[in-house]
Copies of this chain bind each other. A is one copy, B any other.
Amino acid sequence: MTLDAVLARIDADLPHALDRLMALMRIPSISTDPAHAADCAAAADWLAEDLRAIGFDAHPRPTPGHPMVMGHGGTAGPRLLFYGHYDVQPVDPLELWHRDPFDPAIEDTPRGRVIRGRGSSDDKGQLMTFVEACRAWKAVHGTLPARITMFFEGEEESGSPSLVPFLKENAADLDADIALICDTGLFAEGTPGIVTMLRGLLGEEITITGPAKDLHSGMYGGAAMNPIRVLARIIAALHDENGRVTVPGFYDGVPDLPEEVARQWQGLGFDAAGFLGEVGLSAPAGEKDRTPLEMIWSRPTCEVNGISGGYTGAGFKTVLPSKASAKISFRLVGQQDPLKIRESFRAMVRGMLPPDCSVDFHGHGASPAAQMAIGDPAFEKARTALSEEWPNPAAFIGCGGSIPVAGYFKDILGLDSMLIGFGKDDDAIHSPNEKYDVDSFHKGIRSWARILAALAA
Bound-state Cα–Cα, A211 to B277, Å: 9
| A45 on interface, CB distance cutoff 8 Å | no
**Which of A98-106, A296-304, A342-350 contacts its partner?**
A296-304
Given known A89-B317, A228-B307, contact A331–B276 (CB-CB < 8 A): no
| A280 on interface, CB distance cutoff 8 Å | yes
Q: Enumerate A208-255 residues with CB–CB distance to B below 8 Å.
A: 210-226, 228-229, 231-233, 235-239
Q: Enumerate A131-189 residues with CB–CB distance to B below 8 Å.
A: 157-159, 185
Residues in chain B near residue A239, CB distance under 8 A:
229
Is the pair B310, A305 in contact by a Cβ cutoff of 8 Å?
yes
Is the pair A216, B158 in contact by a Cβ cutoff of 8 Å?
no
Name which residue of chain B comes closest to A430, CB basis. Answer: B216
Is the pair A318, B305 in contact by a Cβ cutoff of 8 Å?
yes
Question: Shortest distance in angstroms between A156's beta carbon and chain B's nearest beta carbon?
Answer: 11
| A381 on interface, CB distance cutoff 8 Å | no
Residues in chain B near residue A388, CB distance under 8 A:
none
Q: Enumerate A60-119 residues with CB–CB distance to B below 8 Å.
A: 89-90, 92
Residues in chain B near residue A425, CB distance under 8 A:
219
Residues in chain B near residue A216, CB distance under 8 A:
401, 429-431
Q: Enumerate A304-341 residues with CB–CB distance to B below 8 Å.
A: 304-321, 324, 326-327, 329, 331
Q: Which of B220, B286, B432 contacts A214 (CB 8 A)?
A: B432
Residues in chain B near residue A57, CB distance under 8 A:
none
Residues in chain B near residue A236, CB distance under 8 A:
229, 232-233, 235-237
Interface size bracket, A side: 35 or more
Residues in chain B near residue A432, CB distance under 8 A:
213-214
Q: Which of B226, B237, B301, B321 contacts A285 (CB 8 A)?
A: B226
Question: Shortest distance in angstroms between A190's beta carbon and chain B's nearest beta carbon?
Answer: 19
Is the pair B320, A281 in contact by a Cβ cutoff of 8 Å?
no
**Which of A199-207, A261-269, A409-417, A448-456 contacts its partner?**
A199-207
Name which residue of chain B comes closest to A159, CB basis. Answer: B316
Bound-state Cα–Cα, A194 to B65, Å: 60
Is the pair B33, A314 in contact by a Cβ cutoff of 8 Å?
yes
Bound-state Cα–Cα, A282 to B432, Å: 45
Bound-state Cα–Cα, A406 to B57, Å: 78
Question: Shortest distance in angstroms between A341's beta carbon and chain B's nearest beta carbon?
Answer: 15
Flag A350-393 by CB within 8 Å of B: 1 or 0 each: 00001110000000110000000000000000000000000000
Is the pair A431, B222 in contact by a Cβ cutoff of 8 Å?
no
Name which residue of chain B comes closest to A330, CB basis. Answer: B221
Question: Shortest distance in angstroms between A9's beta carbon and chain B's nearest beta carbon?
Answer: 33
| A34 on interface, CB distance cutoff 8 Å | yes
| A1 on interface, CB distance cutoff 8 Å | no
| A457 on interface, CB distance cutoff 8 Å | no
Is the pair A315, B32 in contact by a Cβ cutoff of 8 Å?
yes
Given known A222-B295, A232-B231, A307-B307, contact A356–B315 (CB-CB < 8 A): no
Residues in chain B near residue A431, CB distance under 8 A:
213-216, 319
| A284 on interface, CB distance cutoff 8 Å | yes
Residues in chain B near residue A354, CB distance under 8 A:
283, 285
Given known A213-B431, A281-B211, contact A218–B400 (CB-CB < 8 A): yes
Q: Which of B304, B311, B400 contacts A232 (CB 8 A)?
A: B304
Residues in chain B near residue A228, CB distance under 8 A:
235, 304, 306-307, 326
Is the pair B319, A221 in contact by a Cβ cutoff of 8 Å?
no
| A402 on interface, CB distance cutoff 8 Å | yes
| A396 on interface, CB distance cutoff 8 Å | no
Residues in chain B near residue A284, CB distance under 8 A:
223
Residues in chain B near residue A219, CB distance under 8 A:
185, 296, 400-401, 425, 429
Question: Shortest distance in angstroms between A209's beta carbon and chain B's nearest beta carbon?
Answer: 9
Q: Which of B185, B235, B299, B313 contacts A92 (CB 8 A)?
A: B313
Bound-state Cα–Cα, A431 to B35, Å: 28
| A292 on interface, CB distance cutoff 8 Å | yes
Q: What are 5 A-B residue pairs whose CB atoms fall within 8 Å in the complex?
A: A211-B281, A228-B307, A229-B235, A308-B312, A318-B329
